[in-house]
Amino acid sequence: MKTQRPISSDDEHRVLQFRPRTASPPPVQRGSGTVQPLRVAPEPLDLSRYEKPRPEPDNFRHRMLANIAALAFTIALTAIGIWLAVSIADLRRTQDCVLMGRRDCAKITTPHI
């Protein structure tokens, strides 16, 4: 089977020169080479322009108590999640045992005397 290739002419293929979006002054011609004019980098923007004076000072103690409460809540939520996952796994193990027809599936705890 012959492969069909589209007929292409040299007019279709052109390399376009990259021009940056920011308008910079054209290069200065001196002698045999081109020299770019020296560009000074602008100072980086910082967040100081968004700062506002606070009507009252920051309450460090209140913020630390809120952080401790959030940490305790996160730890409690993680512990509950782990307990729930272990409980579901144990329940599934017991259910699989019962569905197999075995009769000794329930754990019987004996008190230590």
Residue-wise pLDDT for 35-91, tens only, equals 666 677 777 778 887 888 888 888 899 999 999 999 999 999 999 999 999 999 999
**Sequence letter at residue 66:** A
Residue 60 falls within a domain, yes or no?
Answer: no
Q: Please tell me the distance from the alpha carbon of residue 105 to that of residue 99, in angstroms, as a whole number.
A: 10
Query: Higher confidence at residue 82 or residue 18?
Result: 82
Question: Is residue 91 domain-resident?
Answer: yes
In a domain, 29, yes or no: no
Residue at 93 is within a domain? yes
- Percentages helix, strand, coil for the chain (3-state, rounded to 5) are 40, 5, 55
Number of domains composing the chain:
1
For residue 43, what pLDDT is reported?
Answer: 74
Average pLDDT over residues 86-109: 87
Q: Are 61 and 53 in contact (CB under 8 A)?
A: no
Q: Has residue 33 been placed in a domain?
A: no
* Model pLDDT, residue 38: 66
30 found inside a domain: no
The continuous run of DSSP H or E covering 88 comes out as: helix 60-99
Quote the domain boundaries for residue 100.
82-107
- The SS3 of residue 33 is strand
pTM of the model: 0.46
- The predicted pLDDT at position 14 comes to 76
d(CA 21, CA 12): 25
**Is residue 95, in this structure, part of any structural domain at all?**
yes
